Amino acid sequence: MENSQILAGAAICTVLIWLGVASLKSHFKHVFFLVKVDSIETFIPYRIRLCRLIGGGFMILLAIMLGFAMVYLEEPAQHLADLRDHSEESKTKLIYTAEQLNFATRYALFWISFLIILLLLVATSSIDAIFSWQYQKHLRNSVATLKAMGLQNTNSTKADSNENHTPFIDQQFGNKN
């Protein structure tokens, strides 16, 4: 394996692990309810956090698989490729041993599973994007409703009293006047 391949693989593994750990760290405690429910802390809905948690796990799994492939699978696979190239150059028929065929099968299954996990990561990210888009749409509709009701007036100097708040606002922000 060339140095440029090693550096590129190490960089990809590092980025995947960093992103996966950051995603797991920021969403794990909220998904498994290990923190006290707070309106500011739980601004992102549960299903978006769950998608990001699963995506972070997939990123870490892909990084581990890529590192494993670089360390353990690259050299035997390169040896088989060199044998194949040599047989093509010399125009002889290459007959693989049972061990080489077994390795080729495991190698192919490894990369198929890698691509399946990558597909699952893309699918999870797509679902996260859909959930985020729906949530943003819901927030825009809520703000439009508040504007229509005249409740979102930041320049208001009226005193805080019960007649200035609807029951919904009182429930959301705990206004006890």
Q: Which residue matches tokens 């990001």?
A: 52
- pLDDT tens digits for range 117-151: 999 999 999 999 999 898 888 888 888 888 888 76
Residues of the chain with pLDDT under 50: 157, 159, 162, 169, 177
- Are the C-beta atoms of residues 160 and 175 closer than 8 Å to each other? yes
- The candidate with the shortest Cα–Cα distance to 105, out of 136, 88, 80, 130, is 80
Give the pLDDT confidence score for residue 39 in this predicted structure: 55
Domain ranges of the chain: 3-152+161-173
Q: Give the phi and the psi of residue 77 in degrees, each rounded to 5.
A: -65, -40
Residues 6+ apart with CB under 8 A from 35: 29, 41
- Rounded Cα gap, residues 159 and 152, in angstroms: 15
Give the pLDDT confidence score for residue 152 in this predicted structure: 56
- Alpha carbon separation from 54 to 19, 61, 117 (Å, rounded): 12, 11, 11
Give the pLDDT confidence score for residue 109 in this predicted structure: 97
- Are the C-beta atoms of residues 58 and 124 closer than 8 Å to each other? yes
- Please count the other Cβ atoms lying within 10 Å of the Cβ belonging to residue 69: 16
- Rounded Cα gap, residues 30 and 45, in angstroms: 10
Give the pLDDT confidence score for residue 157 in this predicted structure: 47
